[in-house]
């Protein structure tokens, strides 16, 4: 074999190895992209689970229960409670109603975060959300719509995603 043939053979083998490396890099990129998509989906599911845990455990559960109990539309003194909450909000003076106002704020804030995540963060997850999210949203909305409307007067966009979540719950047939 003369040196020209040897050089051509080496060049051909090098080109083959280079092509093999390019194909391997391309396949690695595809696998990496698929893994990245899986990791992103897992992160979104973990975030949803954390938001749901905030709403369903400990203080979130207590606040939700308080809102459902104290702001029940069937309650005879409901208008007095609403008036006291608004008076507290406007004056900032401590009243006996503070605990209901704080529970209402916290519950709305938690549902607003869930609404943002399900409707804007990853809309595909709204089909994976547990049904009780829609039930709770509907129940809380019925009890707090007046408060959200009041707060929107001074805080534009207040509970925007909670409001949208309530609309979505109604579309899904969860209208209390």
Structural domain includes residue 146: yes
What tens digit of pLDDT does each residue of 79-119 get?
888 888 777 777 766 666 778 888 899 999 999 999 998 88
Structural domain includes residue 135: yes
| Tokens of residue 91, six digits | 């004056």
What tens digit of pLDDT does each residue of 6-16 get?
888 888 888 88
Binned at pLDDT 50, 70 and 90, residue 176 comes out as low
Distance CA 48, CA 67 (A): 23
Structural domain includes residue 176: no
Residue span of the structural domain in which 82 resides:
3-171
Structural domain includes residue 97: yes
Total domains in the chain come to: 1
- Write down the residue that tokens 């595909």 correspond to: 124
Structural domain includes residue 154: yes
The residue ranking higher by pLDDT, 129 or 148, is 148
Asked if 140 and 108 touch (Cβ cutoff 8 Å), the reply is yes
- In terms of pTM, does the model score above 0.85? no
Q: Quote the Cα angle for 106-63-88, to 5°.
A: 60
pLDDT of residue 158: 92
């Amino acid at each position: 074999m003369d040196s020209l043939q040897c050089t051509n053979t080496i060049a051909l083998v090098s080109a083959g190895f280079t092509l093999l490396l390019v194909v391997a890099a391309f396949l690695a990129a595809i696998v990496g992209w698929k893994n990245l998509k899986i990791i992103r989906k897992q992160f979104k599911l973990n975030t949803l689970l954390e938001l749901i845990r905030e709403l369903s455990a400990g203080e979130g559960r207590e606040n939700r229960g308080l809102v459902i109990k104290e702001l029940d539309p069937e309650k005879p003194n409901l208008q007095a409670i609403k008036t006291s909450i608004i008076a507290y909000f406007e004056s900032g003076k401590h009243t006996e109603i503070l605990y209901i106002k704080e529970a209402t704020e916290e519950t709305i804030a938690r549902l607003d975060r869930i609404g943002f995540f399900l409707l804007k963060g990853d809309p595909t997850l709204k089909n994976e959300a547990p049904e009780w999210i829609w039930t709770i949203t509907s129940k809380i909305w019925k009890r707090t719509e007046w408060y959200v409307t009041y707060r929107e007067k001074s805080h534009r966009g207040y509970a925007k995603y909670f409001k949208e979540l309530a609309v979505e719950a109604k579309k899904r047939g969860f209208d209390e």
